[in-house]
Structure 1
Amino acid sequence: MKLLTFYNSKKICSVAIKYNNKIDYIYKFSEKNNHSTILLMINKILLKNFISLKDINYIAFSKGPGSFTGIRIAIIIAQGLSIGLNIPLIGISTLKILAEKGKQITKKNKFLIITKANKKNIYFGKYIYKKNNIFLINKEKFISIQLALFKIQKLKNWIMIKNFNSITFNSIKNIKILNIKNINALDIIPIALRYIKFKKYKKKKIIPNYLQNKII
C-alpha cells in the first residue's frame, strides 16, 4: 500500500509518502505556496523513491480550517489527481491533525484545539481518544475569542493545544497548555492509516472545512 500525504500553510509546504515499512518526507519554506510548489514537491518525492503517481493507492491532506487560499489549492490538487488517476481521497481537519500530534507528544487522550482565525475569532474543537481512535466531542466551531475563554475556564483535566502567541491564557489554571507552531505531512499519516483501515475515504470530491459560515 502506498500513501501520499501533503500539507501546505502560508509559509511551509510538506509532502510525505509511506509504502511498505518506509516513510519519506520533504518540506520547503515558501511565501508563495501555490499549486506548482506542491506539484513539484510531489513529483520530487516520487522520483526519489522510484514510485509512479499511478501506483499511489491513497492521497491524504488537510482540508482546513486555515488559509483560504491554501485550502483551495490543496483540494484542487487532490481532486485533480483523484479524478485523473482514480485515487481515493482522505481530507482531514487541521484541528484533528493538531490533536493527533498532541497525542504523540503527551500520550494523553483529551485535547482542546484552538487555532487563530483573525483578531477576534478562533477555530475551536474538542477531541478525545478511545482505543487508538479519535472522536470529535463537539462540532468544530468558528467562535469569538471571548466565548472560547469562557468555555475553556469550565474545563478540567484537558490539554489545550494552540499554534499562536497573540492571546495570553494566564488566567486559566485548570488545563495544561501546549504550543504546537507547525504541523506537516508526516502528522497526517497516522490518521490517514486509521481512515484507510475503516474505509473512511472518498473519490473525487472533498468539501472544504472553512468553519466560517456562522460565527457563534
Structure 2
Amino acid sequence: MTEPTCQIYLISPLDVSGDFPDRLARAIDAGEGLVTAFQFRVKGLDQHEAAALAEPLQAICAEREVAFIVNDDIALAKRLKADGVHLGQGDGDPAEAREDLGREAQIGVTCHASRHLALEAGEAGADYVAFGAFFPSTTKETEHRAELDLLEWWSEMVELPSVAIGGITPENCQPIVKAGADFIAVSGAVWNGDEVVAVKAFSEQIAAA
C-alpha cells in the first residue's frame, strides 16, 4: 500500500477583499485535489463583517469539497456553519468547540513544538494538530521552532493527522513531507506571488518527495 500523499492546507491572507475569491478558486483548482482545507484567518473585524467576507469563500470551498475552517473564533465558525475551527493555545478548549460545533466539525489545535500539547489536544478531542514554525515566516511572528523529528515521531506513534506550518515554500517542503506531515499549511508562499504557479510548484515537490 502506498502512503497517502501530503495535502495542502491553505491559510488566507489577512485581506480577503477585492479579487481574493477569484484567487482562492484559481489556487484550489491548480492543485487538482491537493488543496483539501482552507483556513479563514482575518483579524480585527466584527462578526458581521467577517461573515460577509467569508460567504463567497465558503461557497468556493463547498463547490470544490474543500474544508472551510475558521481561525480562532468558535462563535464565528458556528454562525457560518463552517466545517471546523482552528484553535491557538489561548483560543478555547477543543471539548467546548466540539459541544458548540457538533460531532462532524473538524477541530484543529496549534501545538507549537510540543509533544505534550499535541497529546493533550488529542485527548481533548482535536481532529488534527499543527506543529511549527519549521522555518521563519513572513506571515506571522514565530516564537516556537519545531524540528523534523517531531513530525517523524508523531507520524509513527499517533494516528491523529498533523499539519506542519511556518515559512513553508515549494523549495523547502520536501523534508517536511518525507518526515510524515499529513498536511502542509501555506499562506505567504502562495498569496505573495502568482497563486497558480505556487500551488503547481508545491504539487510537483510533494509528488517528488
TM-based fold match above 0.5: no
TM-score w.r.t. the length of structure 1 is: 0.30
TM-score w.r.t. the length of structure 2 is: 0.30
Name which one, 1 or 2, has greater alpha-carbon Rg.
1
Whose helix proportion is higher, 1 or 2? 2
**Structure possessing the higher relative contact order (Cα contacts under 8 Å, 6 or more residues apart):** 1
